[in-house]
Amino acid sequence: MESGRGGPGRASLPLLVAVTMTGTVALHIFVPALAAAAADLGTTPVAAQLTITLYLVGLACGQLVYGPLSDRFGRRPVLIAGLSLYLAGLLLAIPATSIEVLIVARVLQSLGACGSLVLGRAMVRDVSTATDAARKIAILTMAMTLTPALAPAIGGLVAGAFGWRAVFVVLAALVATLAALVVVTLPETNRRPVALPGIGAVAGAYWRLLRHPAYRAYLLAGACAGTSLYAFLAVAPFLLVDRLGRSAQEVGLDCLIVVAGMVVGSAAAGRLAGRMPILRAAKVGNGICLASALVLLAVDRSGSLTVVTLLGPLVVYAVGIGLLGPNAVTGLMNVDPQAAGAASSLYGFTQMALGALFTLVVATWHDGSATPVAATLIGAAIIAALSLRRA
């Protein structure tokens, strides 16, 4: 493998997978420590949950910028710049003495981390031939599915043992190590830099995609599936700790159990590929989501909420997401193969923007019950169902 600033060469797939996974680790790993951070900083749950909501906003907006910049200046320097910003945000968060400073730090983290998310995927595509592209993308997709499953468990263990600030210490060490590996070993993979497109050209590409009814349908359905579960993750520490008496370590493991359902759903989507039409598989997945969210609402309103009755419907909901999401993404990418890059960027933006909206809704509505979470999940499933009818 070439290293440094040499010409295009072979890039390590494990490193590219790690780079991509790092983009959302900071989102999920901090969830179990949210309640402890709020108590330590003397702030409200609503204010603390802004560290999740605004992180999603940063991820959404940044994805529209990093792609064009890397097309012009190369993947490697833009990735290094993003990792540097990511690390700066983590270092700012460690000594934060107010929620305002922590929120600023989280926004900086997200604006740097989304570079890892976008450029990791782009570099995998750059170094993939026609024969092995599907295999590498499948590996990357599975890794991205595992990230929200593993990160909360790790965050819960670290926060429970060493305090919430230790979460950022661990993550800063990880990002610094990853940045060093990128600088030393990762070659430039963009063989054909292009002129930086104007805002009008970028907007025109997005507009052409949005004019396709099928693209709009799969875009909205897939985005709802991809981030609706953040409605639970944003309030999980408060719901599980304050209402059900769980510890920080247990919150991380509970989130692991729920998000692991997405792995099961994704595996099912892979097995059904080619056997069931994309649209039908997406509708089946969404039907599972809607049914499980209705069960959760009924459980909460009947006063029967326990750890088991909360996590059970959420795991089933996550299975539905795992089935709906990949099929929706496949559908929107097939609308215009010549605009696959723009289709992916617009999907990433919409996904994170809706995730921010969902977390904001539950944060504002949070009353100590599971009703805000259940109602938000029901709303997302209904929106997805209506969208898929137009596909």
- The verdict on 366 and 258 lying in the same domain is yes
Q: What is the pLDDT of residue 105?
A: 97
Q: What is the pLDDT of residue 295?
A: 96
Which residue pairs from 343-347 have beta carbons closer than 8 angstroms and sit at least 24 positions apart in sequence? 343/209, 343/215, 344/121, 345/63, 345/64, 345/67, 345/118, 346/64, 346/206, 346/209, 346/210, 346/219, 347/219, 347/222, 347/223
DSSP 8-state symbol, 276: B
Q: Is residue 201 part of a domain?
A: no
| Structural domain that includes position 28 | 8-186
Q: What is the pLDDT of residue 263?
A: 80
Q: Is residue 386 part of a domain?
A: yes
Name every residue whose Cβ is closer than 8 Å to that of residue 347 and which is 6 or more positions away in sequence.
219, 222, 223, 329, 332
Q: Is residue 215 part of a domain?
A: yes
- The verdict on 218 and 341 lying in the same domain is yes
Residue in 76, 69, 60 with CA at minimum distance from that of residue 15: 76
Q: Is residue 195 part of a domain?
A: no
Q: Quickly list DSSP for 49-115.
A: HHHHHHHHHHHHHHHHHHHHHHHHH-HHHHHHHHHHHHHHHHHHHTT--SHHHHHHHHHHHHHHHHH
Q: Is residue 3 part of a domain?
A: no
Distance CA 382, CA 293 (A): 11
In order of 101, 286, 356, 366, the CA distances from 228 in angstroms are 27, 12, 9, 16
- The verdict on 125 and 52 lying in the same domain is yes
- The verdict on 178 and 230 lying in the same domain is no
Tell me the whole-structure pTM to 2 decimals: 0.72
CB 80 within 8 A of CB 179: yes
- Burial class for 35, CB neighbours closer than 10 Å (0-12, 13-18, 19+): buried
CB 343 within 8 A of CB 209: yes
Buried b (16+ CB within 10 A) or exposed e, 220-240: bbbbbbbbbbbbbbbbbbbbb
- The verdict on 247 and 363 lying in the same domain is yes
- Burial class for 131, CB neighbours closer than 10 Å (0-12, 13-18, 19+): exposed
- Residue 370: what residue type? A
- The verdict on 111 and 239 lying in the same domain is no
CB 283 within 8 A of CB 320: no
Instruction: Locate all alpha helices (DSSP H) within 186-306, ordered by sequence.
Output: 199-210, 213-227, 230-238, 248-272, 278-301
- The verdict on 217 and 301 lying in the same domain is yes
Distance CA 381, CA 6 (A): 48
Select from 124, 151, 186 the last residue of a domain. Answer: 186
Residue 296 belongs to domain with CATH number: 1.20.1250.20
Q: Is residue 193 part of a domain?
A: no
- The verdict on 104 and 225 lying in the same domain is no
- The verdict on 162 and 293 lying in the same domain is no
> In 3-state terms, what secondary structure has residue 221?
helix
| Stretches in the chain below the pLDDT threshold 50 | 1-8, 130
Instruction: State both tokens at 368.
Output: 């100590």
Distance CA 391, CA 380 (A): 17
Q: Over the stretch 145-190, which tens digit does the pLDDT of each residue have?
A: 678 768 888 998 899 899 999 999 999 999 999 999 999 998 888 7
- The verdict on 223 and 370 lying in the same domain is yes
- Count how many domains the chain has: 2
Q: Which residue has the tokens 């909205």?
A: 220
> In 3-state terms, what secondary structure has residue 303?
coil
Q: Is residue 162 part of a domain?
A: yes
- The verdict on 111 and 212 lying in the same domain is no
- The verdict on 230 and 100 lying in the same domain is no
Q: Is residue 113 part of a domain?
A: yes
Q: Over the stretch 221-230, which tens digit does the pLDDT of each residue have?
A: 988 887 788 7
